[in-house]
Amino acid sequence: MHWFAIGVAMLVAFAIIAIGVMYLYSPRAATQSFGLPLPEEGPNIAWWLRLKGVRDMVAGLVVLALMVWGGPRMVGIALLVEAITPAGDMSLILAAKGSTKTAFGIHGLTAALMILAAISLIMGLA
């Protein structure tokens, strides 16, 4: 179970960093996979979308840093706290009547995997 939980943590970290990079370099394209309609066109919209990219990259880097300099319990705590993001994304997409498939299939599944890995790491089951 330990390697599974660590593997999930590493996968989540690298995936969210990759998503963050996509938001920095191609914010409109990255937004299309989120589950909500694209924001209204405007001169500053790409910059607002890039803000999400920076935050996503930081979220992934925190998990990787804790994997290197923390311990399994610290990684678990970080995953548990950071699972609020995909759970919140799922809730917001559902509330906005966005893509149910994306809300549950991407955001909900990500949150569930993060929580399971986090509990395993925190409880020392891993």
Walk along the chain (126 residues) in steps of 10 and give the mean pLDDT of each run. 87 96 92 85 86 95 96 95 96 95 96 96 83
pLDDT at 126: 53
Handedness of CA 10, 16, 19, 25 (dihedral sign): negative
Q: What is the C-alpha to C-alpha distance for residues 20 and 125, in angstroms, rounded to an integer?
A: 31
Model's pTM, two decimal places?
0.88
Q: What is the pLDDT of residue 28?
A: 87
Range of the domain at 16: 2-122
pLDDT of 2: 81
Provide the domain count of the chain: 1
pLDDT of residue 1: 62
